[in-house]
Structure 1
Amino acid sequence: MTSVPGRRSSTFTRLLRHGFTDPAAAERLLDGPELAAVRDDPVLLEALGGTADPDLALLGLVRLLEAQTGATGRQELLDTLIAAKPLRDRLLGVLGASEALADHLARHAGDWQALVTYEARDLHPGVTEFEQGLAEATDPVSLRVAYRRCLLSIAARDVCGTTEVSETAAELADLATATLRAALALAEADAPEDAALCRLAVVAMGKCGGHELNYVSDVDVIFVGEAVNGADEDKALRAAARLAAHMMRICSANTVEGTIWPVDANLRPEGRNGPLVRTLASHRAYYQRWAKTWEFQALLKARPVAGDLALGEEYVAALRPLVWQAAERENFVPDVQKMRRRVIDNIPTAEVDRQLKLGPGGLRDVEFAVQLLQLVHGRADASLRSGTTLDALKALAAGGYVGRADAAQLDDAYRFLRSLEHRIQLFRLRRTHLVPEDDADLRRIGRSLGLRTDPVTSLTREWRRHASVVRRLHEKLFYRPLLDAVAQLAPGEARLSAAAARERLVALGYADPAAALRHLEALASGVTRKAAIQRTLLPVLLGWFADSADPDAGLLNFRKVSDALGRTPWYLRLLRDEGAAAENLARVLSAGRLAPDLLLRAPEAVALLGDGDGGLRPRTRAHLEQEVLAAVRRADGATQAVDAARGIRRRELFRTAATDIIGSYGTESQPAEADQGALVDLVGGAVSDLTAATLAGTLRAVVREGWGDELPTRFAIIGMGRFGGHELGYGSDADVLFVHEPRDGVDEREAADAAGKVVAEMRRLLQAPSADPPLIVDADLRPEGRSGPLVRTLKSYEAYYRRWSLVWERHALLRAEHVAGDEDLGRRFAELIDPLRYPPAGLGEDDVREIRRLKARMESERLPRGTDPKLHVKLGPGGLSDVEWTVQLTQLRHAAHVPGLRTTRTREALAAAREAGLISADDAEVLDEAWVLATGVRNAVMLVRGRAGDTFPAAPRDLAAVGRYLGYGAGRAGDMLDAYRRTARRARGVMEELFYGSS
Structure 2
Amino acid sequence: MALLGSYPSRLVDSLNERWQQLLEHVDNPDVLQSAASKTSLFYTQLMKTWAGSDFAADVFISYPNYAAYFLQLFNRGQQMAVPTGFHHQSVKNLLADVHSESELIKKLRVYRNREMVRIIWRDLNRLATTQQTTTDLSALADACIQHALDWLYGDMTPGLGTPYSGNNADPEPQQMVILGMGKLGANELNLSSDIDLIFTFPNQGETAGGRKSLTNQEFFTRLGQRLIKVLDCRTAEGFVFRVDMRLRPYGSSGALVMSFAAMEQYYQDQGRDWERYAMIKARAVAGDTARGNELLAQLKPFVYRRYIDFSAITSLRDMKHLIEREVKRKGMENNIKLGPGGIREIEFIAQSFQLIHGGRDPVLRQRALLTILPALAKQAYMPETATDQLKDAYLFLRNVEHAIQAVQDQQTQELPKETEARTRLALVMDCASWDAFMAQLNKHRRIVSQHFADVVGLPESPASSQKKTQHFRSLWMAELDDAEEINVLQAQGFSDPDQSLRLLSALRDGRVLSRVRRQSRERVDRFMPLLLEVAAASDHPDTALNRLLPLVEAVLRRTAYLVLLMENPAALEHLCKLCVSSPWIADLIARNPALLDEFLNLGNLYSPPKKDALADELRQQLAHIPEDDLEAQMEALRYFKMSHVLRVTAAHVVGKLPLMKESDYLTWIAEAVLEQVVAIAWRNLTERHGRPQTEGGGVCGLGFIIIGYGKLGGIELGPGSDLDLVFVHNGVDHQTTDGARPVDSNVFYARLGQRIIHILTTQTLSGALYEVDMRLRPSGASGLLVNSFRAYEKYQHNDAWTWEHQALVRARVVAGDSALAEAFTELRASVLRKVRDPETLRKDVTGMRQKMQGHSGSKGKQGQINLKQDKGGIIDIEFLMQYAVLRYSPDYPELVRWTDNIRISEQLEAAKILSHEEAHVLRQAYQQYRLIVHKLALQNEKPLISHESIKDYSTAVKQLWKKWLEN
The two structures have a TM-score, normalised by structure 2, of 0.47
The two structures have a TM-score, normalised by structure 1, of 0.45
**Which of structures 1 and 2 has the bigger CA Rg?**
1
